[in-house]
Copies of this chain bind each other. A is one copy, B any other.
Amino acid sequence: MLHEVPGKEDILLASDRIKPFIHRTAVLTSKAIDSIAGIQIFFKCENFQKAGAFKARGATNAVFSYSDTELANGVATHSSGNHAAALSMAASNRGIPAYIVMPSNSSKVKIAAVESYGGIITFCEPTLMAREETLARVLSKENALEVHPYNNSRIIAGQATACLELIEDSPELDVIMAPVGGGGLLSGTALTSFFFSGHSKVIAAEPAGANDAYQSFYQKKFIPSIDPQTIADGLRTSLGSITFPIILEKVSDILLAGEGDIVSAMKLIWERMKIIVEPSSAVPLAALLNHKKDFRGLKVGIILSGGNVDLSDLPW
């Protein structure tokens, strides 16, 4: 049984458990971006992950670590984003239903992704309250198991495996960067770095227009995300009661990036690396380029969190 904070063993077990269902994604480098940044960067390409984002790791680990009894009536969550598709995919792989509460203004692309994995969608008003109420109703009606997108130690242990592969595939990294929204990827990354690297510092990146994690981190108390304004749609959520303490203890710093810098960094990755990343993925590079001199001489790993973007609605 997992404790609230995943241990070393939980992350290793997660890595073995999810292997048949996820991609071991490539770690790519770009001489052009290195020369702009003035350092060596190793990009862990979770944009190439199943269902298009690292979320497949956590969802798969959660769904495959619960018992048949716990999963007897399927799983449920509310999400407008990558967790919805990831949980639907994991549930489909395990042969159980996934009930997904989605705000009525979710993008067509995201709705189609959930449907393609057989997720059963209930639409609701696009407010957090409506999402939570609708999910409560679905949970009680279906008697399904809720799988929270990040405040769940099985999810965190799953997300932690991206960094495990990055460490295995890259030369010794001085810094590992991940974006922070609810903190599932970030707390997992920090735990992996702590257990398996020892010396790599973990630095988070957050949009300046959704800087609740930054404020929480420096005020050392939980500040919720209220009215976040950012194109990085994966990073608008608040930290969780499990993720925040891990981040407070194991993350070295949180750097901010403005909207223009995020779009520029995203375009830079598209143009120079010829790969598609979503805005949230570009936040660490944007923050790094804003603080270039602090990184001089370091080897930096960046987790490109996902590649799900509406190609008909690009920010340039």
A residues sitting closer than 8 Å to B (CB atoms) are 26, 47-48, 52, 267, 270-271, 274-277, 307, 311-312, 314, 316
CB closest chain-B residue, reference A116: B32
CB atoms of A312 and B307 under 8 A apart: no
**Residue in B277, B307, B316 whose beta carbon sits within 8 Å of that of A311 in the complex:** B316
**Cα distance A74–B271 in the bound complex, in angstroms:** 29
- Contact sample, A vs B, 19 pairs, CB 8 Å cutoff: A26-B26, A47-B274, A48-B274, A52-B274, A267-B311, A270-B276, A270-B311, A271-B311, A274-B275, A274-B276, A274-B277, A274-B307, A275-B275, A275-B276, A276-B276, A311-B314, A311-B316, A312-B316, A314-B314
Q: A47 to chain B: which residues have CB within 8 Å?
A: 274
**Cα distance A316–B267 in the bound complex, in angstroms:** 17
Q: Is the interface of A mostly helix, strand, loop or mixed?
A: loop
Q: A312 to chain B: which residues have CB within 8 Å?
A: 316
Q: A48 to chain B: which residues have CB within 8 Å?
A: 274
Q: Which 3 A-B pairs have the closest CB atoms?
A: A274-B307, A274-B276, A47-B274
13 other A-B residue contacts (CB within 8 Å) besides A47-B274, A48-B274, A275-B275 = A26-B26, A52-B274, A267-B311, A270-B276, A270-B311, A271-B311, A274-B275, A274-B277, A274-B307, A275-B276, A311-B314, A312-B316, A314-B314
Shortest CB-to-CB span from A162 to chain B, Å, is 15
CB closest chain-B residue, reference A26: B26
Residue in A52, A267, A275, A277 whose Cβ sees the most chain B Cβ within 10 Å: A275
Q: A277 to chain B: which residues have CB within 8 Å?
A: 274
Shortest CB-to-CB span from A53 to chain B, Å, is 10
Shortest CB-to-CB span from A99 to chain B, Å, is 24
**Cα distance A312–B263 in the bound complex, in angstroms:** 13
**Cα distance A311–B272 in the bound complex, in angstroms:** 12
**Cα distance A314–B307 in the bound complex, in angstroms:** 18
**Cα distance A270–B310 in the bound complex, in angstroms:** 11
Shortest CB-to-CB span from A85 to chain B, Å, is 13
**Cα distance A275–B270 in the bound complex, in angstroms:** 8
Q: A276 to chain B: which residues have CB within 8 Å?
A: 270, 274-276
Q: A314 to chain B: which residues have CB within 8 Å?
A: 311, 314
**Cα distance A8–B217 in the bound complex, in angstroms:** 63
CB closest chain-B residue, reference A269: B276
**Cα distance A314–B315 in the bound complex, in angstroms:** 12
Residue in A26, A274, A311 whose Cβ sees the most chain B Cβ within 10 Å: A274
Q: A26 to chain B: which residues have CB within 8 Å?
A: 26
